[in-house]
Amino acid sequence: MLKNNLKLLLKSPHISIPLLILLLSTVGINLYAMSSYFMNSDIFAYAEKSLWLCIIGFIINFYASYEFFYQIRFSDTEETIQSYHNVKNKSDMVSLLLLAVFPFVQFVISLFFNCVLFSTSGMTNDSYMVHITLVYFLYIFLGGVTAVIFGALTARKIKRIVAYTIFALVLFLMSGISAFIFEGPSLSSSINFWQIKYFFAYLLPNNLNTIPYDDYGFPCELYRWNLSLFWVLFLLMLLIFTFRLTKKKLKIISVCLCAAAAAVNLTGYLMGGSHIEAGSGIDSIFLSDYVYYKNNKTEVKQQSADFKITKYEMLLNISRQLDAEVTMSLSDHQKGTYLFTLYHQYAVSNVTDESGNPLKYSRSGDYIDIKPDSSISKIKIKYSGYSSVFYSSSQGTALPGNFPFYPMAGYYDLKAKFGEYNHIFAPKTEYSVTVNAPQKIYSNLKETGDHTFYGKTNCPVFAGGLYEETDSDEYHICNISSEILLSEEITPEFLDDVQKKIDQLDKNSGIHLKDYYWLKMSLTFCNQAFGNNVLYSEDGIMLSSVDSPEETAKSIIEQKKIYDNAQ
């Protein structure tokens, strides 16, 4: 049956030629992308170009599937085949599998090129290959399979021009071409109409013109997998529903199984999760907080705490989002209200004392007020959520300690101005942190065991994603893997130059770069988060650019002064 269907497919030039062109394009685009990689050594720029295959594949796979099944339906052969008890359905399933081979071949070809690139690039971080494999599988293969099933389903039931109209509409919603429709209404009403677009658009990587964060990679969070699987299962369920089966029980069971699995994945998608939305949606890194603070004119407060936190014990679970349990040991125990700042997107579920007794609390914007009835020595807060800028997802983590991803004593004004966050530096204290995340986590705290960190600081930083630590006797450096290929990483030599510049500019700065933990962050993240290229804290420096040792030295000196004043 497979052989016959393959013969039919290959002998239908209006289907086989576009599929052949698709496969040739896959090779061609990968070769072109590779050539641009060899010009500038940017591995992500290569991958970004090769991901254009997703949209081409989606279109051609839908077309091929629709035309193949349409041909069977309207060749006056269908009725004959239908008389061969249940064979039509088997034949259709075989045809589907056959058509699904093409997205698979695309996936394999793209992966092959990536493997070649990876092995010749000198990159040592295997996580990159794992990440790219997952991205390609999600968008090229699953996206292509969705198109195939969609084509088969519409061919069974819908007339030609109606089917292509629906397809054009879906493409319109999926591509960035429709962004303008959702921008205006979402901004003016603050209702997130983008969710309608995302429901279709997230089948493919959106914003193909935007290079992703190099430490984060392309978006392939769990909820995107949920969405892709939902569409595959939902369309498959509808397709099975259109089958005529003599064994009705089999049909009902199949439909129910698909429906249940689709429902589970839909739930997973609706649960959402931390992600980086770099477009113009109101949940994007550019607009999310802007819209929140514009619409929720909560009072901005600034007030020091009248208590001290001597120790933080944190359990941070990172998968779809951050699920945290933070226990704070308090000194200068007092009755009265304990004031904390915790970013508004983290929803507090539970506040208890050292004995596990619930404590009264109130939440208003970024602030929590906890009102115990008696004196307490510890407060434990359970919360979960995510920030659109300081992500914490299954594929990456960026939680710098100057951002209240954990409760900070006192009230702080979080936002200085649109697009940047205030640097908040809590007093130096002890941290004992366990981080459970799918990716390896890097921190300025000392790693004491499996996923555990310990140290004293006033700015605990946790970063995860496509990083690797550089071995050096003098410096502790953590770089973004892909930037090492571009020679944009932090090197000991660079830091030596920076140190020299610092010493030249300010002999009494007291800055010894060897004392710091160095973390390279992407430029977009730093600009969005901090408004500049350097985040300085007492034991760690996050840096986004290594272009100029002099500029870096100036920034460090300036940031240190700001930091010292804040203390």
Partner 1 sequence: MLKLHNCKKIFKKKTALNGFSCEFDQGIYGLLGPNGSGKTTLMRCICGIMDTDGGNIESDENIIGYLPQNFGMFKTLTVYEMMDYFATLKNIPSKTKEEEIKRCLELVNLTEVMNVKTKGLSGGMIRRAGIAQAIMGDPNILIFDEPTTGLDPEERLRFKNLLKKIKKDKTILISTHIVSDVEAICNQLIVINQGKNIYQGSLEEIRSAAKNKVYIVSEKYEDQLEGNYFIKDRISKDNENFLYVLSNSKIKFGEPAEPGVEDGYLCLLKN
Partner 2 sequence: MPAEKLIRSIKLIQLNLKSMGLLYFIPYVFLFLILPLSTYISLTSGTAKEQCFLNSYFQIQMFCPFFAVWWTLFGFREFSEGKMRELLLVYQKSILKELIIVWVYYILHMIIMLVLYLCLFGFNYFHSMMILTIQSFAFFSVGISLSFLIKNIALSFVICILYELIGMFGQIDILQPISMLSLSFPQNFFDGIVPYLFILLVSMILLIFSNLFAKKYA
Q: Which does 184 bind (CB under 5 to 8 A by kind): partner 2, partner 1, none?
A: partner 2
Question: Which tokens is 502 given?
Answer: 């610092």
Strand partners, 411: 303
Nearest-approach distance from CB 146 to partner 1, in angstroms:
27
- Burial class of 428 by CB neighbour count within 10 A (0 to 12, 13 to 18, 19+): middle
Q: Which does 374 bind (CB under 5 to 8 A by kind): partner 2, partner 1, none?
A: none
**Cβ nearer to partner 1, comparing 7 with 360:** 7
**Cβ nearer to partner 2, comparing 49 with 131:** 49
Q: Which of 237, 225, 238 is nearest to 266 (CA)?
A: 225
Question: Which tokens is 26 given?
Answer: 């896959």
Residues found near partner 2 in the complex (CB under 8 A): 14, 18, 32, 49, 52, 55-56, 59-60, 63, 66-67, 160-162, 164-165, 168, 171, 175-177, 180-181, 183-185, 187-188, 208-209
Q: Which does 87 bind (CB under 5 to 8 A by kind): partner 2, partner 1, none?
A: partner 1
**Cβ nearer to partner 1, comparing 246 with 374:** 246
Q: Which does 270 bind (CB under 5 to 8 A by kind): partner 2, partner 1, none?
A: none
User: What is 107-123 written as a DSSP string?
Assistant: HHHHHHHHHHHHHHHT-
**H/E run at residue 322:** strand 322-331
Q: Which does 180 bind (CB under 5 to 8 A by kind): partner 2, partner 1, none?
A: partner 2
Question: Which tokens is 56 given?
Answer: 């081409």
Nearest-approach distance from CB 15 to partner 1, in angstroms:
10
**Cβ nearer to partner 1, comparing 80 with 331:** 80
| Residues 525 and 476: beta-carbon distance below 8 Å | no
Nearest-approach distance from CB 197 to partner 2, in angstroms:
13
Residue 303: other Cβ atoms inside 10 A? 11
Nearest-approach distance from CB 19 to partner 2, in angstroms:
12
The Cα diameter of the chain in Å comes to 92
**Cβ nearer to partner 2, comparing 52 with 104:** 52
Residues found near partner 1 in the complex (CB under 8 A): 1, 3-4, 7-8, 11-13, 71, 75-77, 79-85, 87, 91, 244, 246
Question: Which tokens is 67 given?
Answer: 């035309």
- Burial class of 108 by CB neighbour count within 10 A (0 to 12, 13 to 18, 19+): middle
How far from 198 is each of 54, 150, 166, 284, 296, CA to CA, in Å?
16, 18, 17, 12, 25
Nearest-approach distance from CB 14 to partner 1, in angstroms:
9
Q: Which does 60 bind (CB under 5 to 8 A by kind): partner 2, partner 1, none?
A: partner 2
**H/E run at residue 428:** none
Residue 104: other Cβ atoms inside 10 A? 15
Q: Which does 80 bind (CB under 5 to 8 A by kind): partner 2, partner 1, none?
A: partner 1
**Cβ nearer to partner 2, comparing 159 with 500:** 159
Nearest-approach distance from CB 90 to partner 2, in angstroms:
27
**Cβ nearer to partner 2, comparing 290 with 454:** 290
How far from 552 is each of 472, 489, 548, CA to CA, in Å?
20, 13, 6
Nearest-approach distance from CB 176 to partner 2, in angstroms:
7
Nearest-approach distance from CB 159 to partner 1, in angstroms:
18
Nearest-approach distance from CB 162 to partner 1, in angstroms:
20
**Cβ nearer to partner 2, comparing 74 with 84:** 74
Question: Which tokens is 117 given?
Answer: 């690139």
- Burial class of 214 by CB neighbour count within 10 A (0 to 12, 13 to 18, 19+): buried
Nearest-approach distance from CB 89 to partner 1, in angstroms:
11
Q: Which does 83 bind (CB under 5 to 8 A by kind): partner 2, partner 1, none?
A: partner 1
Q: Which does 557 bind (CB under 5 to 8 A by kind): partner 2, partner 1, none?
A: none
178 CB-near residues (< 8 Å, 6+ apart) = 172, 197
Q: Which does 244 bind (CB under 5 to 8 A by kind): partner 2, partner 1, none?
A: partner 1
- Phi/psi for 453 (5° steps) reads -135, 150
Strand partners, 350: 382
